Amino acid sequence: MTKIALSEMFVDDEIKQAALDVLTSGRYIKGPRVKAFEDKFSKFIGAQYGIATSSGTTALLTAYMALGLKAGDEVIVPSHTFIATATPFIFLGAKPVFIDIDPVTYTMDPDEVKNKITPKTKAIVPVHIYGHSVDLQPILELATEFGLSVVEDSCQAHGATYQNQNIGDIGDIAIFSYFPSKNMTVAGDGGMVVTNNPELADKMNILRNHGRRNPSTSELLGLNFRMSELHAAIGMVQLKHLPEWTEKRRKAAENYNKIFAESGSSLVDEHIVLPVERPWAKHVYHLYVIRVLNGKRDSLKQYLQEQDIASGIHYPKALHEQPCIIDHLKDKYNETIDNSTLPHTEQAVKEILSLPMYPNLSEEDITSVVNAIETFFKE
């Protein structure tokens, strides 16, 4: 069997030429390509302002800095996400307050949010995980009621929508990542902050450049989070393909669902649970994530590996289980997390398995993946 990768980055002659053009130009930072990429990506999202950064993580840190998060503040965040959602504001001194997930979409459960709001709460960070949006309306209503900022972690949701509105054009600030496995990439680390707030945009623009508007004066205590011209040039080409890739990902997910359904009723629901798209969402399937029941996840993953089929676990440890966060909460706040308050998160991390997903994933390869899973459960 031909090896089936978990993800696959697109590189063509246009991307190679774009990189070569930057190398021969002699302009590697703070040039026209970064500005053009910011303008085109923010326009694609529907936001007024885009600020390119060196990674999704520094994009998050830039946003949290712009909001003025500091020691004593609290930030409501799901525990089921990549650790970079929370560690930047922890570095600023703010405290994570973890929320359980909707067990169907794996996104922040909005019904859990209100009970976690205190006078110290400053922001809510919904994570549009795997490419499916959070149910944002209840969260936005709470943010308005309590005067909180909403930062959309959209690092896995390029092109996704919520109630027909683009993800990234809904909260106060949104963050995107261009890591090589994402729905579009810059062939390395890269990120973008988008917003419709001119004051926040101006602040983030200078924060990512040592707090400077001009070379000689630092108005704010900033750092170097800039994106390079090389990465921006590649991002410009990738962005042109994103709508087509989104539809191909959705088609691949449709093929998975169809082929799993054809495999027999005993496989789906008895052994695995398929991903779901809520009626108000457009899922862009950064990942196609199934749940493997009855404690068989790890053995299935090993079996797929033996068949030359890649799979992944996103993420095997929730944030509240990460040693650095456990130690931080204990040392700074003398607190421990009651795992029983996050039952859906606790269960999900034991069962989730990401199957191969990328735009050019063929129906033949999808059939091979499904057949391998079916064979595993028959043995």
Give CA 304 to chain center in angstroms.
25
User: In the structure encoding, which two tokens stand for residue 172, read together?
Assistant: 């106060």
Q: What is the pLDDT of residues 283-292, one digit of tens each?
A: 999 999 999 9
pLDDT score of 2 more than 80: no
Phi, psi of 106 (to 5 degrees): 70, 10
214's CB contacts (< 8 A; 6+ apart) are none
User: Is the CB of residue 90 less than 8 Å from the CB of residue 65?
Assistant: no
Report which of 19, 26, 13 is spatially closest to residue 235, judged by C-alpha positions.
Answer: 19
Q: Which residues pair with 186 in a beta bridge?
A: none
Phi, psi of 176, deg, nearest 5:
-130, 150
Longest dimension (CA), the chain: 69
- Token readout for 95 is 């405290």
* Cα–Cα distance for residue pair 55/176, rounded to 1 Å: 9
Nearest to 239 by CA among 82, 75, 33: 33
| d(C-alpha 132, C-alpha 282), whole Å | 7
Mean pLDDT of 292-312: 98
pLDDT of residue 114: 96
- Averaged pLDDT score across all residues of the chain: 97
**Please, which residues bridge with residue 101 across strands?**
108
Integer Cα distance of 161 and 47 in angstroms: 13
| Structure token pair of residue 282 | 């457009």
pLDDT higher than threshold 90 for residue 269:
no
β strands within 228-357, DSSP E: 272-273, 281-282, 288-292, 352-355
* pLDDT tens sequence across 46-63: 999 999 999 999 999 999
pLDDT digits (tens, 9 = 90+) for 94-128: 999 999 999 999 999 999 999 999 999 999 999 99
For the chain, which domains are there? 13-237 (3.40.640.10), 242-378 (3.90.1150.10)
CA 84 to the chain's CA centroid: 10
Confirm if 8 and 252 have CB atoms less than 8 A apart.
no
The answer to whether the CB of 138 falls within 8 A of the CB of 110 is yes
Residue 379, burial from CB neighbour count under 10 angstroms (0-12, 13-18, 19+): exposed
Q: Are 335 and 96 in contact (CB under 8 A)?
A: no
Could you report the per-residue pLDDT of 274-285, keeping only the tens digit for each?
999 999 999 999
Q: Give the integer Cα–Cα distance in Å for 18 and 356.
A: 28
